[in-house]
């Protein structure tokens, strides 16, 4: 027991204890600094993505309007002009796929809306194509008007979402004091 008491009361023990305590405190400050830096970088990264998201929403709105124009073109093609009809269908599919891809880079709300639109457009495109191929094109106009409603709603959603994200971006900039 005297041996332990001699060790605890020795000057070397206190020097070692101070050294170890200093190392632990320094390590904790370093860990806190790294954590703070990583969180700050994540916030900055998120803020840097906002302008692209807003720009993509405008692109989505334009693509939805253009898809409607292509649907109108599709039903005006002559029944036996398969090449022209195939070309227009491919343009609609390309626009739809780009819309789907762009929406995934914005947020979940936009992606979910785009997913619903994707299914509706594909279904309508298939119905119209079958009607045109079979020569029963009398209800294609009604189908185009129905998809027009969905496309315009999506276009309006994209514009409104763009406004919301712009406001959020502005608020986050103010909070991060980057203005």
Taking CA atoms, 49 is separated from 41, 55, 107, 112, in Å, by 12, 10, 11, 20
CATH at residue 158: 1.20.120
| Rg for the chain, CA atoms, rounded | 31
Measured between alpha carbons, how far is 76 from 138 in angstroms, rounded to an integer? 12
Contact 132, 76 (CB under 8 A): no
**Does some domain include residue 63?**
yes
Q: What is the pLDDT along the chain (179 residues), one digit of tens a residue?
A: 666 666 666 777 777 778 888 888 888 888 888 888 788 777 767 766 777 788 888 899 999 999 999 988 888 887 778 888 889 999 999 999 999 999 998 889 999 999 999 999 999 999 888 887 777 767 888 888 899 999 999 999 999 999 998 888 888 777 766 54
Asked if residue 70 is part of any domain, the answer here is yes
Answer left, alpha or beta for residue 135, where phi above 0 means left and psi between -120 and 50 means alpha. Answer: left
75, 132 Cβ separation under 8 angstroms: yes
pLDDT of residue 62: 92
Cα 101 to chain centroid, rounded: 9
66 within a domain of the structure (yes/no): yes
- Nearest-angstrom CA–CA distance, 1 and 33: 43
Whether 6 is covered by a domain: the verdict is no
What pLDDT score was predicted for residue 7?
Answer: 66
Domain that holds residue 83: 53-176
Asked whether residue 59 is domain-assigned, the answer is yes
The tally of domains found in the chain comes to: 1
Token pair belonging to 95: 């626009």
In this prediction the pTM is: 0.69
């Amino acid at each position: 027991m005297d041996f332990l008491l001699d060790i605890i009361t020795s000057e070397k023990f206190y020097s070692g204890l101070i050294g170890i305590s200093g190392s632990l405190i320094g390590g904790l400050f370093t860990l806190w600094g790294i954590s703070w830096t990583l969180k700050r970088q994540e916030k900055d990264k998120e803020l840097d993505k906002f302008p692209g998201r807003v720009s993509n929403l405008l692109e989505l709105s334009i693509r939805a309007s253009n898809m409607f124009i292509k649907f109108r073109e599709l039903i005006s093609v002559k029944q036996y002009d398969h090449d022209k009809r195939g070309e227009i269908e491919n343009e609609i599919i390309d626009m739809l796929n780009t819309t789907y891809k762009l929406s995934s880079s914005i947020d979940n709300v936009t992606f979910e809306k785009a997913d619903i639109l994707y299914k509706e457009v594909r279904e309508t495109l298939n119905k119209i194509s079958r009607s045109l191929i079979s020569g029963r094109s009398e209800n294609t106009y009604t189908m185009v008007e129905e998809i027009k409603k969905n496309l315009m709603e999506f276009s309006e959603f994209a514009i409104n979402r763009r406004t919301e994200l712009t406001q959020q971006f502005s608020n986050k900039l103010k909070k991060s004091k980057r203005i």
